[in-house]
A and B are shown apart, each in its own frame.
Chain A
Amino acid sequence: MTRKKKKQIHEIIMYIILILVGFLMIFPLIWMFFASFKSNEEIYGSISLLPQSFSWEAFVNGWQGIGGNTYTRFFANSALLVLPTTLLTVVSSTLVAYGFARFEFRGKKPAFALLLSTLMLPNAILVIPRYSIFRSLGVLDSYMPFYLLAAFACYPFFTYMLIQFFRGIPRELDESAYIDGCGTFRTLVHILLPILKPAMFSAGLFQFLWTYNDYFNSIIYINSVKKFTVSMALRLTMDSETVVIWKNVMAMSCLAVLPVVVLFFFCQKYFVDGIATTGLKG
């Protein structure tokens, strides 16, 4: 066998492996979609992927939500929670990252060490005391706790990520802006932000994702059903005191992951860049 032929076979095997594993990866999601059309009997004990018939009934029923609160409201709530949180996170993290990346202030080293150590602080440790703080501020049962955490740069991931990006921008740009008489803020806005835009976009996407997927914090801070987000509503839909109709749950799960998937397909590049540059969690 020639060397070239051997290499070709090698290639083909690699592709088969890659495609097989890829299929395994995506299979649960495909299965979830088709399960939205299956009765419980069809889900139990069957390996066939395709449903016996396609009817959008589960989507229509599931969308009704509970007690007059439809998924229209839950999605709107998620947007109300996620969008401002994302925006505030990006703004505050950019400012703070700028401060860290471009100034030699006193106490910079310990401050940076503090920033890094907050990265590793388990959420659980902070939950109870934070809850009492938000109570004394009178902002429970609203999205304000999320906004405040975002506005005060309490998501150290993004600060850290943006610092890394700032470091990649040559300092000469700043220097020449100062010489032209720009202040630090104008330098940031006019010179650095245009370069930083993709990075900020990446940070925004991740914050969007994490806030959107979050369940633990939402359930702690939000009480009223009319303020529930999609995640919380999903949990409510699968409430089990009545017999669970899995296709309704699966249909709403599909819709719940849809914004994430759509966003991903439109902004793939930014996700990949964002991760690749900073090594984010996942």
Chain B
Amino acid sequence: MKKLKISHNNMAYIYLLPWIIGLLMLQVYPFVKSFYYSLTDYNPLADPKFIGIANYVRLFTKDKEFGKSLAATIEYVLVTVPFKIIMSLVIAMLLNKGRKGIGALRTIYYLPSLFGGSIAVAVLWKVMFMDQGMINAFLNKIGIGTISFFGNPSTALPTLSSLEVWQFGSSMVMFLAALKQVPSSLYEAAEIDGASKVKSFFSITLPQISPIIFFCIIMQTVNALQNFTSAFVITQGGPLKSTYMLGLKLYNDGFLYMKMGYASATSWVIFGLVMIFTLVLFGTSRFWVFYGDED
């Protein structure tokens, strides 16, 4: 019998096999299925009923909560992502000077980002920011008075955002690595030309690390759009729906009000948002992302 010989490149399929199975069964199939659900009236206690695009029509024309929810989500993204990026960039710049004790500082800045999405820090935030909490005790001491962080619709979302921004460490580490790779010859040349520090930051540093900035913005936008744990544990969407982000709305619609079809439609809207953000970023990337050596 002739031995079955697999050509070298076709060996790839063997290595890819687990992924192919996983992709089809646990990613693509659920993905398609959830799209089907989004076109149905699906109470999990009964069978789904096909209703066409009614869920989407309802989301965009009748559901006032959805508008609020969408606004809160976008606000959350627009607050946390730029803050995180700017924070990590500034700190990375300061740490990049080869100062003494950088290792320890880097560790400290990085530490909070280890707890992303963990219940422990969500609870911690809740306790620190309550009316009688430590933060308010401090504000009272310095004469500002009590701020009802999670009771006031205008402060609740920023306070939740602060938890997200606190965890800027991982993008900072990425920026640090990117900064190290900027050739120092570029700065030297700029200095000879008499360029100011500010100018060389904008004309050398930023363009050089722009691919990493680009990547960070995309990943963090995708994550922020899906935020769930902090709103779920700390505010449950309140007060006055000010922190009722899409991730939470979807969860409540689906699991609490048992409208799985409607929730699936919401999840597709989140997916659509992710796509739009990504495409816009990709579309604009050729104007501001500088790839030194494309391969």
Across the interface, A280 reaches (CB within 8 A) one of B23, B132, B219, B270, namely: B219
Is A234 a contact of B120 with CB atoms below 8 Å? yes
Measured between beta carbons, the chain A residues less than 8 angstroms from B15 are 95-96, 98-99, 103, 184
Measured between beta carbons, the chain B residues less than 8 angstroms from A31 are 124, 128, 134
Nearest residue (CB) in B for A21 is B91
- Considering the chains assembled together, what is the distance between the CA atoms of A118 and B27 in angstroms? 8
* Interface residue ranges of A110-145 to B (CB < 8 Å): 111, 114-115, 118-126, 128-130, 133
Q: Is B271 an interface residue (CB 8 A)?
A: yes
Is A184 a contact of B8 with CB atoms below 8 Å? yes
Across the interface, B138 reaches (CB within 8 A) one of A11, A47, A119, A214, namely: A47
Measured between beta carbons, the chain B residues less than 8 angstroms from A184 are 8, 11, 15
Nearest residue (CB) in A for B163 is A28
Measured between beta carbons, the chain A residues less than 8 angstroms from B94 are 14, 17-18
Is A124 a contact of B247 with CB atoms below 8 Å? yes
Interface centre among A103, A104, A124, A254 (most CB of B within 10 A): A124
Q: Is B137 an interface residue (CB 8 A)?
A: yes
* Interface residue ranges of B133-185 to A (CB < 8 Å): 133-134, 136-138, 141, 166-167, 169-171, 173-174, 176-178
Is B166 a contact of A28 with CB atoms below 8 Å? yes
Q: Is B22 an interface residue (CB 8 A)?
A: yes
Is B18 a contact of A281 with CB atoms below 8 Å? no
**B187-208 interface code vs A (CB 8 A; 1 in, 0 out):** 0000000000000000000000
Is B108 a contact of A282 with CB atoms below 8 Å? no
Q: How far does the Cβ of A36 sit from chain B's closest Cβ, in whole Å?
A: 11
Is B34 a contact of A125 with CB atoms below 8 Å? yes
Measured between beta carbons, the chain A residues less than 8 angstroms from B220 are 281-282
Across the interface, B108 reaches (CB within 8 A) one of A26, A129, A271, namely: A26
Nearest residue (CB) in B for A252 is B120
- Considering the chains assembled together, what is the distance between the CA atoms of A35 and B212 in angstroms? 38
Q: Is A46 an interface residue (CB 8 A)?
A: yes
Q: Decide yes or no: A130 and B170 within 8 Å by CB, A14-B94, A28-B124, A99-B16 being known contacts.
A: no
Q: Is A58 an interface residue (CB 8 A)?
A: no
A-B Cβ contacts below 8 A, count: 257
Q: How far does the Cβ of B166 sit from chain A's closest Cβ, in whole Å?
A: 7
Q: Is A257 an interface residue (CB 8 A)?
A: yes
**B2-43 interface code vs A (CB 8 A; 1 in, 0 out):** 000000111111111011011101110111011001000000
Nearest residue (CB) in A for B218 is A120
Which of A69-77, A79-87, A152-160, A193-201 forms contacts with chain B? A152-160
Is B177 a contact of A277 with CB atoms below 8 Å? yes
Q: Is B278 an interface residue (CB 8 A)?
A: yes
- Considering the chains assembled together, what is the distance between the CA atoms of A154 and B28 in angstroms? 11
Nearest residue (CB) in A for B247 is A124
* Interface residue ranges of A222-276 to B (CB < 8 Å): 231, 234-235, 238, 246, 249-250, 253-254, 256-257, 260-261, 264-265, 268, 271-272, 275-276
- Considering the chains assembled together, what is the distance between the CA atoms of A124 and B267 in angstroms? 6
Measured between beta carbons, the chain B residues less than 8 angstroms from A124 are 226, 228, 247, 250-251, 267, 270
Is A105 a contact of B115 with CB atoms below 8 Å? no
Q: Is A169 an interface residue (CB 8 A)?
A: no
- Considering the chains assembled together, what is the distance between the CA atoms of A99 and B251 in angstroms? 37
Measured between beta carbons, the chain A residues less than 8 angstroms from B118 are 213, 215, 231, 256-257
Q: Is B116 an interface residue (CB 8 A)?
A: yes
Q: Is A209 an interface residue (CB 8 A)?
A: yes
Is A149 a contact of B177 with CB atoms below 8 Å? no
Q: Is B254 an interface residue (CB 8 A)?
A: yes
- Considering the chains assembled together, what is the distance between the CA atoms of A96 and B15 in angstroms? 5
* Interface residue ranges of B72-121 to A (CB < 8 Å): 91, 94-95, 97, 99, 105-121
Measured between beta carbons, the chain B residues less than 8 angstroms from A111 are 16
- Considering the chains assembled together, what is the distance between the CA atoms of A180 and B37 in angstroms? 54
- Considering the chains assembled together, what is the distance between the CA atoms of A152 and B177 in angstroms? 31
Is B170 a contact of A120 with CB atoms below 8 Å? no
Minimum-distance CB pairs A-B, first 5? A282-B170, A152-B22, A276-B177, A99-B15, A103-B12
6 chain-A/chain-B pairs, Cβ below 8 angstroms = A103-B11, A128-B263, A153-B19, A209-B114, A272-B177, A281-B219
**Chain A positions near chain B (C-beta within 8 angstroms):** 11, 14-15, 17-19, 21-22, 25-26, 28-29, 31-32, 35, 43-47, 92, 95-96, 98-100, 102-105, 108, 111, 114-115, 118-126, 128-130, 133, 148-149, 151-154, 159, 184, 209-210, 213-216, 231, 234-235, 238, 246, 249-250, 253-254, 256-257, 260-261, 264-265, 268, 271-272, 275-277, 279-282
